[in-house]
Structure 1
Amino acid sequence: MEIKEELFKPILITKGRNTGNPHSVMLLAVNFNGKIYFSRHRPDGDWFKNAIANPQVKIKYKDRVFSGHAKLITDEEFSKKISELKYPGEKRAKEKRVTIEITLDSA
């Protein structure tokens, strides 16, 4: 993996679950133990629903595009750990969040 930062703001590109068209959104991501994590307060965002419906995703960062595979994290304690890394020292780090994990494809 060529992404070194623990916290970074890439563009997540998902495939629209209804249209099949690319859907891009810039999000704060956590790079932890060789995987990329995105989270949100509720599972109602288009990017979140798209990644669950079609796990083949792309991450655009620093003029590079990485392909990967998304999966839902069901371990609430692990999601809490990701929130603490994402929002260090902030109150919202304690809020319950939904999290997806991206495993990047080998280059």
Structure 2
Amino acid sequence: MRKADLVNRISDKTGIPKVDVLVTLETMFKEVKDTLASGENIYIRGFGSFITKKRAAKIGRNIKKNVAVHIPEHYIPAFKPAKEFSMEVKKLKEPKKDSGPGEDADD
């Protein structure tokens, strides 16, 4: 599912115009990014948590040049689903096949 598909579904279910749904989603995504970038986490009861995880410093390797490269410690964004969320997904028998970007769906 792409963002446009999500906007269409929300608009159909709520009756809110697609433009308003798109603005709301874009604002939510921006707030999540800004909040995580500022070092805060977001906790949404029943859905999950948007958190930052600390990756330790390590030595990597550039295989083309066969050189060791120091990778400093850094933070990455992560999502941790709530227990209820995980339980619903576990009940799923077979995931739907979704065509990726640029591919045609078999509808």
Structure with bigger strand share is 1
Structure with bigger helix share is 2
Larger radius of gyration: 2
> TM-score range, shorter-chain basis?
under 0.3
TM-score (normalizing by structure 2): 0.27
TM-score (normalizing by structure 1): 0.27
